[in-house]
Structure 1
Amino acid sequence: MRAMQVTAYDEPLSLRELELPVPRPGEVLVRIDTCGLNFGDTLMIKGTYQEKPPLPFTIGMELAGRVVGLGDGVTTLAKDQRIAAYAGFGGLSEYAVLPAEVCVPIPDEMDAVDAAAFLIAYGTSHVALDYKAGLKPGERLLVLGASGGVGLTAVELGKLMGAEVIACARGKEKLEICRKLGADHLIDSDTDDIRAVVKSLGGADVVYDPIGGDQFKAAMRACNPEARLLPLGFASGEVPQIPANILLVKNLTVLGFYWGGYARIKPGVLTDSFRTLIDWYVAGRIKPHVSNVLPLEQANEALDLLRTRKATGKVVVQVSQPE
C-alpha cells in the first residue's frame, strides 16, 4: 500500500510503499477513501504536537473508508461497512488498522468527502460549545479564526444552538463565507479592533479561540462578566499568558479543552456528540464546508493550504479513488 509519511521532522512528507497491516483482536482493517487534514497534522510534522509517534509515521487524524477485514472478537462492525474514525494519525495511507471502538458507522446520505471533514471539526465545536461552555440561546458567541476548519463549524453550530454569533477572520472573502453559515456580525482581524467592535456589540459571553496570541488578549478584554473562554489551539504561534486579575474582576472562566483527550478519559462524551451531529447532518441542518480536495500525491500541497491559511473550512485528501 502507499502512504505519505513523516521521515524527518519539519520536512515534506515522502510517498512510500508499505506492507499491508493485519488487524489484531479488537481491530479492523480499513480501506481509506478520504482523509481530513487538521492544523494538528502540521504540528506533528514539526514534532511539536502533544502526541509524538516514533519516526517514520503517517499523519492524518481523521479518515473515512470501508471495513475490509475484522480482527478476532469484533462484533460491532461488519465487512464492507462504511465508517469514519478519529485515528490520531495514519489517515494518509491507503489502508489502516484501527480499534473497532473508534470507528463510527456513517449513513448512506454522507459521502466520503463530507465524512472525512466531519468528526474533528464538528466534534470539536459541538463538545466545546455544548458540553464544556454550556452555550445558551441568546448568548453572544465570539469565534476567532472563524473561517478555518473548526472555526466555521463553531459559527454554524453556535447559530444552530441559538447564539448571536460574531465571526472574526481575515478578509472580506472569508468573512462572507462566515456570514453565509450564520454569523450575525463580522470582524476583519487584519483591519478591525477586535476589542472595540465586540464591546460595541454588547460584549462576549463565550469566546471560541483556536488562534491565541493578541486575538485572545483582545477577546478576553471584551468579555462580559461570567463569560467563558475556550482556548482550543494557538495557530498564531503564541500561547497567551492569562492575567488572573482580569479573571477575578470579571468572574471569567477559562476552560482548557483538548477534544481528542476525551477518547481516553470520557469516550461517551464523543459518542454522544457524534450521534447528535450525524442526526443533524441527515436532517440537513449542518453541512461540512470543504474548500479543497487533493489526491494523496499532493498531500504536501494540501498541508501548505493550512499553513498559509489559504483554505476556508476543511482540506480533504482523496486517498483512494472510489470503486
Structure 2
Amino acid sequence: MRAVLTMAHGDRSNLKLVEDFPDPVPAEDEVVVRVAATALNYHDIFTRRGMPGIRLELPVIVGSDIAGEIVETGSAVTGWSVGDRVLIDPVYRDGKRSGMIGETAHGGRAELVSAPASQLIRVPDAVSLEDAASLPLGYGTAYRMMITRGQIAAGEKVLILGASGGVGVACVQLAKLYGAEVVACASSQSKIERLRQLGADHVIDYSKQAILDGIREIYGKPRTNGDGGVDVAINFTGGDTWVETQKCVKKHGRIITCGATAGYEMMTDARYLWTYEHHMLGSNGWSPADLEALLALIESGRLKPVIDKVFPLEEIDEAERLLEDREVFGKVIMRP
C-alpha cells in the first residue's frame, strides 16, 4: 500500500512517501480500515520533531484522526462487518498497549490501517467521512474541555486564546452552539475575519493589542464585587500568557486548559487565584462518548467541522508546512 513514513526525528525532510509498504494484517480482535480521510494535527509535528521523554520506534506512519470503511475483520470480531463506515478512536484504553494509533502504532497517512474493534465508532450515513476524521484530536479535545469538563452555559462570556487553530476553531463553534458570548484571539486580519464569520462576538488581534487590554475595553476590569471580565477563559497556550489570562477572569470564573503549546512552565499569580476565587480545570483528550456526541451534533445539522484544506499524500510536506507556519484555519485533511 501507499503510505507516508516519518523516518526519523527532525525536519520535514524526514517524511517519505512509499508505494509498497506492507498491508496491515488484523489480529483476531482487530479490523482493517480503508482510510477515506485522516486529519493533520500539531501532535504529528511534535512526533516528527521528537518529544522530550517519549521514545518512539521509527519509522512510523503518523495520523491519529482516521475515518474510513472496514475491509477485513479479525476472527474474534463481532458486531462489525466489511463495508461499515467507522471513525477510529486512536487512544489505546484497554491497558494492554500505551499511546495511540499514529504515534506508537502505524496510523492514517496510508491507504489501510489496522485498529482494535473496541476502538471503532459507527459513522452515521448523514456524516461525511472527512467530517468524521476531523473530530478526535481537535473537536474531541475541545468538546471535553468546553462541555464535558467546562460545562459552558448559555449567556456566559468566554475568552478563547489560540482561536484559529484546530482546537480553537472547535472551541469557538461549541461555545456559540451552547449559547455563550465569545471573545476569540488571533493574530492576522484574515483569521480575524473568519472568526467573525464563524460567530465570534468579539475578536482581539493580539499582535496589535494585549489580550488583557482588549478584555477591559469590552467588559471592564474584573472586580471583587463580581463586575467585569469573562466567566471562562480557554488557554491551551500556556507559557507567559497564563498570568494575563488570570487577570481577564471575573470572580468565581473558570480557567480551562488542555495543553501548553508555548511552554509547560507557567507562573501563576496566587493573588488572583485566591482573591477572585478562580477555578482552574485541566482537560485531557476526549472519551468515546465525547466523539459520539460530536457525531450526533453533525448528524443533526447543528455542527459543521471547519476543514481548511484537503491534500493527497504526495503533498504531505506542504500540508505539514501550513501547520508549522500557523497558516491554517481549522483542520487540514489528507486523502490517500
Query: For the structure 1 residues 289 and 162, does the alpha-carbon distance in structure 2 shift closer, same or farther, using more than 3 Å as the test?
Result: same
- 1:41 corresponds in structure 2 to 44
Aligned length: 310
Does the 8 Å CA contact 2:70/2:84 hold for their aligned counterparts?
Answer: yes
1:244-295 C-alpha deviation (Å, 9 max, x unpaired): 34322222222222215xxxxxxxxx23222322221112111011111111
Task: Judge which range, 208-217 or 220-229, deviates more.
Answer: 208-217
- 1:251 corresponds in structure 2 to 277
Q: Following the alignment from structure 1 to structure 2, what is the Cα–Cα distance between the partners of residues 203 and 196? A: 11
Deviation at 1:233, TM superposition (A): 2.4
Does the 8 Å CA contact 1:86/1:120 hold for their aligned counterparts?
Answer: no
Deviation at 1:49, TM superposition (A): 6.9
Q: Following the alignment from structure 2 to structure 1, what is the Cα–Cα distance between the partners of residues 263 and 109? A: 25
Q: How does 1:58-97 map to 2 (within 5 A)?
A: 58-87=61-90, 88=100, 89=102, 90-97=107-114
- 1:234 corresponds in structure 2 to 260
Q: Following the alignment from structure 1 to structure 2, what is the Cα–Cα distance between the partners of residues 37 and 25? A: 29
Task: Judge which range, 44-53 or 249-258, deviates more.
Answer: 44-53
- 1:265 corresponds in structure 2 to none
Does the 8 Å CA contact 1:82/1:106 hold for their aligned counterparts?
Answer: yes
Q: Following the alignment from structure 1 to structure 2, what is the Cα–Cα distance between the partners of residues 214 and 186? A: 20
Query: For the structure 1 residues 106 and 175, does the alpha-carbon distance in structure 2 shift closer, same or farther, using more than 3 Å as the test?
Result: same
Q: Following the alignment from structure 2 to structure 1, what is the Cα–Cα distance between the partners of residues 299 and 49? A: 37
Q: How does 1:172-183 map to 2 (within 5 A)?
A: 172-183=189-200
Deviation at 1:125, TM superposition (A): 1.2
Q: How does 1:1-323 map to 2 (within 5 A)?
A: 1-12=1-12, 13-16=15-18, 17-48=20-51, 52-87=55-90, 88=100, 89=102, 90-200=107-217, 201=219, 202-237=228-263, 239-259=265-285, 270-319=287-336
Higher alpha-carbon Rg: 2
Deviation at 1:23, TM superposition (A): 0.8
Does the 8 Å CA contact 1:40/1:49 hold for their aligned counterparts?
Answer: no
Q: Secondary structure at the match of 2:82?
A: coil
Deviation at 1:305, TM superposition (A): 0.7
Task: Judge which range, 101-110 or 55-64, deviates more.
Answer: 101-110
Letter in 2 for 1:197: G
Query: For the structure 1 residues 118 and 250, does the alpha-carbon distance in structure 2 shift closer, same or farther, using more than 3 Å as the test?
Result: same
Deviation at 1:239, TM superposition (A): 4.1
Which runs of 5 or more structure 2 residues have no equivalent in the other structure? 91-99, 220-227
Q: Following the alignment from structure 1 to structure 2, what is the Cα–Cα distance between the partners of residues 251 and 289? A: 35
Query: For the structure 1 residues 161 and 59, does the alpha-carbon distance in structure 2 shift closer, same or farther, using more than 3 Å as the test?
Result: same
1:34-82 C-alpha deviation (Å, 9 max, x unpaired): 1101111111111117754311111111111110111122113211111
Does the 8 Å CA contact 1:291/1:314 hold for their aligned counterparts?
Answer: yes
Q: Following the alignment from structure 2 to structure 1, what is the Cα–Cα distance between the partners of residues 280 and 54? A: 23
Does the 8 Å CA contact 2:240/2:267 hold for their aligned counterparts?
Answer: no
Q: Following the alignment from structure 1 to structure 2, what is the Cα–Cα distance between the partners of residues 49 and 69? A: 37
Does the 8 Å CA contact 1:21/1:29 hold for their aligned counterparts?
Answer: yes
TM-score, reference length from structure 2: 0.87
Does the 8 Å CA contact 1:36/1:316 hold for their aligned counterparts?
Answer: yes
1:198-243 C-alpha deviation (Å, 9 max, x unpaired): 1332312211123222333322211112222122223335642323
Q: Following the alignment from structure 1 to structure 2, what is the Cα–Cα distance between the partners of residues 239 and 76? A: 46
Letter in 2 for 1:224: K
Does the 8 Å CA contact 1:83/1:105 hold for their aligned counterparts?
Answer: yes
